[in-house]
Structure 1
């Protein structure tokens, strides 16, 4: 075995430098990613590899921006955005939210088990796409912060994905290469029990320890913590009729308060004066089939917005000193193009009192929660003397929720059944989201993360560089020289560790393509059965917890969890070590090595 070539050594140094830049946290991830791309492009342009032109290096360096993996990630982000803006996942989120409110630890455990089981049959990425919006919504509604749940759930998905040959495309690649090399075919669930036993050992760490190692990156709560007074009009099919205040309180979110006590059972025509946060009032309206503004006005606003193909938004406004609304009530203010969902009374002096009700006369400093189109909200503020406090929170386009859900199920289903690659089905689903209006084209920027896009492009370029320069092959030969002196468990653990390093710093496909032939030839030279060594490669390809560039699901949660590179290292390295030891031991017992 000789020394690595200059280009191979340079690629190893670039990979090490990229890792150090991410781990140190001295520069933003996207800056380090762009620098990595630039170093590869300039290096190969001025010092091209033998037999290549300078322009070939530029193609390699920038190939990540047109790679199908990046297109797939962007398309899946758009699909996830469609589920969020239409509220398609609200029923599932409410079911999980009920469990989380009962017990957050139990909620996280159930979520981890669901994620692990789903990823055994469905590809890892679609599973995360389905769960990610639900977990983010749960965090916004008072559950455990997203930064403390996304990495654990992602880890459970990755463990489940390694349990079957169809769990990930990388598993299929390893099995296919091994079969071509002469190993007997492996069935779909051939090694499932090994992974499930390892999962039982790893689950306590993922469930109880990892959330404690992660920071609380939830944004400072602002408008959602404000309490608003609202007057609810009950619908004809409400479940509130015939109930007492105590019975109603048991039906409503915990922070809802009755501003006006109910002395008798609820009957038709009665209004309920409640107060709570924005989300709590919205949930109370859903459970009671009630509206915080006149029903005819709410219906008209929705019809007009739908006819003009624009969105309604909730906007916070404060009443200025010169507003015409001062002294008026919501009933006699003559509001027709906006609906007032709630009022947050301004604090007065000690000798000033005011009824805690949305029907009380308005005063300077009161904050109104306004439902309207952006155009009408701005006109209302300018006409009636109000100051807009927030840019507005768009309401879910619930009429398109079934359509968005059908598009997602179709995209995921076709990929899971093998009818078409995930890149094609996801891209087709994203196009349908635009065509049907579930996601508006001008709002697509909210679904995509520039940080993730540049990071994916840089990792793809680096993975190709490690492969074409021969760095991966040289590392494999070095590993083969060392492993011949180790016992069976050590051989399995070392192979798994080597492939894990490749996976976390290059790509799953690179690790599979390089590691599988090495494992097969090593088995022949050491007189070991090839199957356990090939499985060690397969498992190692899935132990991608330690860096955000290791797998596309790691990158998809980075923006939502507001994670730093060190968060993956802190939580991932112990899990990698635990899984390598556990899986190596189980393989030794399974194959009597």
Structure 2
């Protein structure tokens, strides 16, 4: 084994920055957007302070910003908006309705059909709306048939990841690998160019997810058992000697640290309802209608020197608080909600929807933060909120953008624009598949038509975009370009070949895919893919073998995000909805990774080497 000589200082700096970037991408306590922006800023700063030239060509720091206008990012954003339009218009509702009917006939066959449909749809649409569609359907089936939902949800979620591997637009990872390889002079893959090896592996994966995975998943209870404290309604009677007489609503709310929300004020002599505006003054004899936890209501009673009543009686041992006709709902926060990074207080969640948040679940378990601090916890995509409210309030939540109700009975939305939205998606795919327009152009035109036909509005379009995806794509492209131009990628490729010098080309290809599979379950799959693509091309050139299978090894390896919940955002959605543990993903995901790794290694070697 011959160890290659050390590269130039800039290349070494890029390798160090890459290691640091991958570490920060993995950190849960630092937003991915912040880490991505830091990478871009550091790269630009390094090449500004320490200029780099290669064969007389100066690397402009501003060139590292080109990722924000890269065709891969434009395509990713366009497809995210189109996928969101399918959800908003209910274009997928007929599929969900018919699948729900099929489950009544044959659960075993229905699971297979569900996996096939979910995988097929994910080949053309971002898999988040697909998971959003299927979660309520499968939970509803489990409720109706009185069976456990665990054997259904995790296989369905992983099937969408498997399906996304089969086309160039199936995932943002695919688009990035294809675009980076094209930027480096390799021919551009067509829409279905790598579908044959992907479909062979997908067929084996679907059989595993259908017949084996459900049998090795332990029984899990839903993520939000019905055990949280409830909200009760009551009336605070304002006494003559009360400290809040003459104060405004805003002033008395301040006395309760702004925790107390007044629904309305009943005022003498006829106890008419008065709207509790901030400057409304409180009078003796007023009755404040409030809802909260019992201990908080008693606290309000003490702070305001008021008397807590039910509808007719003073609250005491003989006349306790009564829970009103309230319903519970499980709310999954998805990307388009606009809540990511905000606290419930900052988002005015209670004021907007009128419901009370009883619990917050993250990574499959309740966050033990205490009720007082719940409103101050930054919300993340994939979080599950247990809320309580009346039927009308829950219905408002069902119609809200970016909030998924997992109650097993929520009606899927459907509008007259649904066929048009579906037709636009099909047209975008066909035009690109036939080579009439690049996918970046066709997807952008599709978004324009969706807006022009009012299938969606600009609020819908902006909410569909993910700042995490945009920044991680831009940062990954900048890092990949810097590594390639400084020779860092070439050095990593030389080291990889040196370490695997005893292996034939097929073995090196297989080892590269396995390396990416491990990396993608630990850090961002987009970052792994963009960093791995130039390395793959360098390895192929050093071995003097075809480049295509090595690029595909990176593409497939970076998509094997099956073994950890944090490997892909839909894994978190499934984990929270099904009450899975981290070990469940490893139990099901690791055998699936091995199956697909072995299959794809053999197929790529057979077809290309």
Counterpart for residue 50 of structure 1:
53
1:87 aligns with one of 78, 85, 90: 90
Gaps of 5+ in 1: 227-316, 327-346, 350-363, 369-377, 525-529, 549-553
- Distance, in Å, in 2 between the alignment partners of 1:71 and 1:588 is 33
Q: Contact 1:64/1:457 (CA < 8 Å) preserved in 2?
A: yes
Counterpart for residue 286 of structure 2:
none
2:430 aligns with one of 400, 413, 417: 413
Q: Does 1:435 align with 2:434?
A: no
- Distance, in Å, in 2 between the alignment partners of 1:73 and 1:175 is 17
Within-5 A mapping of 1:366-445: 389=393, 392-393=396-397, 396=413, 398-445=415-462
Q: Contact 1:64/1:70 (CA < 8 Å) preserved in 2?
A: yes
Q: Contact 1:33/1:458 (CA < 8 Å) preserved in 2?
A: yes
1:450, distance to aligned residue in structure 2 (A): 2.8
1:542-577 CA-to-partner distances (Å, cap 9, x unmatched) read 2213569xxxxx86747866899x999957666444
Aligned residues: 430
2:158 aligns with one of 152, 155, 179: 152
Counterpart for residue 126 of structure 1:
125
Counterpart for residue 245 of structure 1:
none
Counterpart for residue 470 of structure 2:
453
- Distance, in Å, in 2 between the alignment partners of 1:54 and 1:482 is 33
1:544 aligns with one of 555, 558, 564: 558
The DSSP-based 3-state class of the residue aligned with 1:88 is: coil
The DSSP-based 3-state class of the residue aligned with 2:558 is: coil
Q: Contact 1:320/1:387 (CA < 8 Å) preserved in 2?
A: no
Q: Does 1:98 align with 2:101?
A: yes
Using a 3 Å threshold, how does the CA distance of structure 1 residues 572 and 68 change in structure 2: closer, same or farther? farther
- Distance, in Å, in 2 between the alignment partners of 1:65 and 1:534 is 26
Within-5 A mapping of 1:234-249: none
CA RMSD of aligned residues (A): 5.6
1:113, distance to aligned residue in structure 2 (A): 2.7
- Distance, in Å, in 1 between the alignment partners of 2:191 and 2:461 is 38
Counterpart for residue 8 of structure 2:
5
Q: Contact 2:89/2:455 (CA < 8 Å) preserved in 1?
A: yes
- Distance, in Å, in 2 between the alignment partners of 1:96 and 1:198 is 25
- Distance, in Å, in 1 between the alignment partners of 2:447 and 2:549 is 35
Q: Does 1:23 align with 2:29?
A: no
Q: Contact 2:7/2:491 (CA < 8 Å) preserved in 1?
A: yes
Q: Does 1:580 align with 2:597?
A: yes
1:96-124 CA-to-partner distances (Å, cap 9, x unmatched) read 233456677754433333455567xxxx4
Using a 3 Å threshold, how does the CA distance of structure 1 residues 561 and 201 change in structure 2: closer, same or farther? closer
Using a 3 Å threshold, how does the CA distance of structure 1 residues 128 and 466 change in structure 2: closer, same or farther? same
Using a 3 Å threshold, how does the CA distance of structure 1 residues 7 and 482 change in structure 2: closer, same or farther? same
Q: Does 1:519 align with 2:527?
A: no
Bigger fraction of residues in helix: 1
Counterpart for residue 77 of structure 1:
80
1:392, distance to aligned residue in structure 2 (A): 2.3
1:440, distance to aligned residue in structure 2 (A): 2.0
TM-score, normalised via structure 1 length? 0.56
Q: Does 1:494 align with 2:511?
A: yes
Within-5 A mapping of 1:143-292: 148=154, 151-161=157-167, 195-203=198-206, 206=209, 209=213, 212=217
Using a 3 Å threshold, how does the CA distance of structure 1 residues 169 and 390 change in structure 2: closer, same or farther? closer
1:40, distance to aligned residue in structure 2 (A): 2.2
Q: Contact 1:415/1:421 (CA < 8 Å) preserved in 2?
A: yes
Q: Contact 1:30/1:451 (CA < 8 Å) preserved in 2?
A: yes
Counterpart for residue 40 of structure 1:
43
The DSSP-based 3-state class of the residue aligned with 1:418 is: coil
1:78, distance to aligned residue in structure 2 (A): 1.8
Gaps of 5+ in 2: 143-148, 232-261, 274-309, 313-322, 328-350, 355-389, 400-412
Q: Contact 2:92/2:133 (CA < 8 Å) preserved in 1?
A: yes
- Distance, in Å, in 1 between the alignment partners of 2:391 and 2:98 is 38
Using a 3 Å threshold, how does the CA distance of structure 1 residues 387 and 202 change in structure 2: closer, same or farther? closer
- Distance, in Å, in 2 between the alignment partners of 1:366 and 1:92 is 34
1:168, distance to aligned residue in structure 2 (A): 6.1
Q: Contact 2:83/2:125 (CA < 8 Å) preserved in 1?
A: no
1:85, distance to aligned residue in structure 2 (A): 1.9
Q: Contact 2:513/2:597 (CA < 8 Å) preserved in 1?
A: yes
Using a 3 Å threshold, how does the CA distance of structure 1 residues 508 and 488 change in structure 2: closer, same or farther? closer
Q: Contact 1:472/1:514 (CA < 8 Å) preserved in 2?
A: yes
1:133, distance to aligned residue in structure 2 (A): 5.0
The DSSP-based 3-state class of the residue aligned with 1:399 is: coil
Q: Contact 1:502/1:511 (CA < 8 Å) preserved in 2?
A: no
Q: Contact 1:217/1:562 (CA < 8 Å) preserved in 2?
A: no
Using a 3 Å threshold, how does the CA distance of structure 1 residues 401 and 194 change in structure 2: closer, same or farther? closer
- Distance, in Å, in 1 between the alignment partners of 2:560 and 2:584 is 5
1:147, distance to aligned residue in structure 2 (A): 7.6
TM-score, normalised via structure 2 length? 0.55
